[in-house]
Structure 1
């Protein structure tokens, strides 16, 4: 997938673009449905499925007091969008000045830049200054400027409307098993393996400590997980501890994983951790030996949970 930073850098004409508009944080099943519609329309007209998105997230600029935690880094979001069949993503630099653009000017700029066949949006999409531009306004502009507007209905899972807000809430509360249905994949974070205190190794369960740029980490606790090291296609099974190591009276936050089928050091390497299920809360044990015994139980429980895992990233291909 080609990634273009800003319309000003869109120097090559795209063939019959079908443009999906949105932030797409998390690339959940609702977003995937939007991409599916865009890819289908592009296929019908021998065109190109395109995403037009924003970075940073608008709320980071307009409402920093909300302390929005994103589900994906920019890199991961681009990776997931690509898997969905999108051929080009244009990312606007979102600023306060950008937020002041009138909806009409926004639509005119899109038409001027893309000369798109059509636009695909979610049912609740809004745009322009004060978010006063909505579905009806965009359709009106489409009639005037010569593009179609496809509106994708909300996607429901277990009776709830899928949204990035819902996914953030579930991840933040540690409900990672439920999240898999909303993402078509297990929620993951990635980062570099860094040196830790070697306590796990001392009690027979060496761990890899993760230094990650991801903003949203699942609730403190112990999880069964799969991990991918570097660009490998294979996955390792593991037990992840998210928390503060209270048994050792530490107050620094850590994410560490004990690999069940790995026997060599991976310091300095990039790994991605996929959270499969929550096993238990983090507990301050009365002794290191009690902790060791509990980790033994965690490992056995994790083996059972992970034994049936076939698809870690079951993302749909758009074309």
Structure 2
């Protein structure tokens, strides 16, 4: 899959394309419905299915302290889009200049001149441009004038509720990972590379893989039963803690995973940690002994539940 970052990297001889526009956080079933329409239209026209997206998310730019957590890192978003059949991703930097682009300028500068769009696929609630003044009607009108078609995809509904990134965040924060999997089309997970930790867990008899977090704002906190995937290897059961480790004076958000019945060296490997069940919240214990005793209970709890509900 081709990735183009920034308007300055648009080529003057860029081939025409069929384009879908959005943030695509989590690349959930609603997004996949949109991409399905994108692929059909791209195939009909013999053009590459292209996604136009933005980074950072507008909420992160306008309100960084209160922005909702991402469901997926930028890297994972690209991976999921590629798996869905997208051949080209164009990522525009969302900054002050871009936020001031009016709807018609966005169409002319990015869709018509930049991407040579022949067809555009969006959700039926799509808004764009400064102050979100652009809508589907304006896009259709501009398409008639500029020579590109427009298709809208209706809301994707499960159990009577719209599938959206915001809904999935709420579900994940509540620990309902079965519902999250239904809405995403896959288990909710965080991927990252294993780095060197302080080895404290190993001295306590619970060695952990310290997985680098792609961003500090994630929708999970606490202790979880997890399944862990390695490239080309079988899935592993585990217990994950994601938090600041208040008992040991931690100040940085960490994802630590104790892999059950596993002793191999996996430093620098990339892991996908899939969250299956919330065991408890993060707690500050009065002593290391109390913490170690609780970890032992967490491991027993997670092992029993995973063997029953997610046997390997």
TM value normalised by structure 1: 0.86
Q: 2:42 — aligned with what?
A: 42
Q: Does structure 1 residue 299 correspond to structure 2 residue 303?
A: yes
Tell me, in whole angstroms, the C-alpha distance in 2 between the residues paired with 1:293 and 1:236.
Answer: 19
Out of 91-100 and 195-204, give the one that drifted further. 195-204
TM value normalised by structure 2: 0.87
Instruction: Report the CA distance between 1:11 and its aligned residue.
Output: 1.7
Q: 1:313 — aligned with what?
A: none
Tell me, in whole angstroms, the C-alpha distance in 2 between the residues paired with 1:83 and 1:12.
Answer: 28
Segments of structure 1 that go 5 or more residues without pairing to the other structure are: 309-319
- Judge conservation of contact 1:208–1:258 (CA < 8 Å) in 2: yes
Tell me, in whole angstroms, the C-alpha distance in 1 between the residues paired with 2:117 and 2:174.
Answer: 41
Q: 2:138 — aligned with what?
A: 137
- Judge conservation of contact 1:226–1:238 (CA < 8 Å) in 2: yes
Segments of structure 2 that go 5 or more residues without pairing to the other structure are: none
State the secondary structure of the residue aligned to 2:34.
helix
- Judge conservation of contact 2:239–2:298 (CA < 8 Å) in 1: no
Within 5 A, what are the aligned runs for 1:46-85? Answer: 46-85=46-85
Change (3 A) 1:202 1:12: same
Q: Does structure 1 residue 259 correspond to structure 2 residue 263?
A: no
Q: Which has the higher contact order (CA 8 A, sep 6+)?
A: 1
Change (3 A) 1:18 1:33: same
Q: Deviations over 1:243-295 (max 9, x none)?
A: 4557x565555422121242223234332211123344456595744642452
- Judge conservation of contact 1:171–1:217 (CA < 8 Å) in 2: no
Within 5 A, what are the aligned runs for 1:142-153? Answer: 142-153=143-154
Instruction: Report the CA distance between 1:203 and its aligned residue.
Output: 4.6
Instruction: Report the CA distance between 1:18 and its aligned residue.
Output: 0.9
Q: Name the Cα RMSD after superposition.
A: 2.5
Q: Deviations over 1:12-45 (max 9, x none)?
A: 6455411001111111111111111000111112
State the secondary structure of the residue aligned to 2:120.
strand
Tell me, in whole angstroms, the C-alpha distance in 2 between the residues paired with 1:27 and 1:224.
Answer: 23
Change (3 A) 1:46 1:125: same
